[in-house]
Amino acid sequence: MPESDPLQPGSPESDALFELEPRAAETVGFAQLARLPLTELVAPDWAEALAPVEDALREVLAFLAAEAADGHEVLPPPSYLLRAFRQPLAGVRVLIVGQDPYPTPGHAVGLSFAVDGRTRPIPRSLANIYKELDADLGLAPRIHGDLGRWAEQGVLLLNRVMSVRSGAARSHRNRGWEAITAAAISAVADRRTADGGPTPFVAILWGRDAWSVRALLGTAPVIASAHPSPLSASRGFFGSRPFSQANALLQAQGNGTVDWELPPLP
C-alpha cells in the first residue's frame, strides 16, 4: 500500500496491525500509522499512559512518513514500530533499555536487542547476551534472535530511540523519541498496587544510554552494567549475571521469575 493510501480506523487493515508478519509490513505505511487512534497502535493501558505524549508521537510518525516519502528506508517497518507497547503495561515485570534499532535492513523488529527469527548470523551484541545467559543460568545460546518469549512474560524490551534510517546508526536521535520513551519508563515506574505501593519490577540498564534513565525509575531495583556490544562487553557486561539477579529481585518482591530460556527455533 503506498504511503498516500488511506487507512481508516476500524478497517480490516488497521484491525490486523498487531498480527502482521514481517514480510507483510509494507501493507501499512508510517503515514497511515499517524492517522490511527492511539488505542489501535498500542495496548489499552499503554494508550492511557502515553496520552500525555501523543502529540509528540504524532510528530515523530509524521517525520518517519516524510523520511519514507523522501526514499529513505526506515527501520523497523511500520507494523513493528510500536511493538514494545503491545503487551500490557500492567504486565511489565522487567524493563531492558536499549539504544536504537539495528540499522541493518531486516534486523529491527521493534524489541530492543531482538532480530527477526530468520536472521543469520545474529548481531554480535545479542550473541554476547546469549553468552552471558549461558554463563549465568546455563542456558545454551540460540542461533536465532527472536526474543518474543521474553516479551510475552512481561519483559519490556524498549529502545530509547525507536526508529533509525537504514544504514545510518543513531540517525533518529533527538527527533522526539526520547520524550516518548521517558514517559513510557516513568509509566512503568509509577504503577501502584491495590494498597498503594509500587508495582514490583526490575530494570536492567546496559550501557550509558540506558543509565541515563535511572532517575525515572524511582525506588525500583536496578541492575546496571556495560553494554553487551563487542566494544564494551568485556568491561563489565560479562560476569554481571543480570538474568539470575533479575529473578532473585523479582522473587524478593513476590513477583515470580522469568523463564529466560528461548525455544531452539522461533
List active site positions: 100
10-13 contact pairs (CB < 8 A, 24+):
10/40
Closest CA to 211 of 203, 219, 220: 203
End-to-end CA distance of the chain: 28
State the burial class of residue 174 (Cβ atoms within 10 Å of its Cβ: 0-12, 13-18, 19+).
exposed
- Residue 124 CA: distances (Å) to CA of 7, 9, 36, 54, 235: 38, 39, 36, 34, 15
**Prior bond of 12 cis (ω within 30°):** no
Residue type, 39: T
Question: DSSP class of residue 192?
Answer: B
Question: DSSP class of residue 142?
Answer: P
Give the Cβ contact number of residue 249 at 10 Å: 21
Question: DSSP class of residue 6?
Answer: -
Q: Backbone phi, then psi, for 189, in 5-degree steps?
A: -70, -30
Q: What three-state secondary structure class fits 98?
A: strand
Give the Cβ contact number of residue 83 at 10 Å: 20
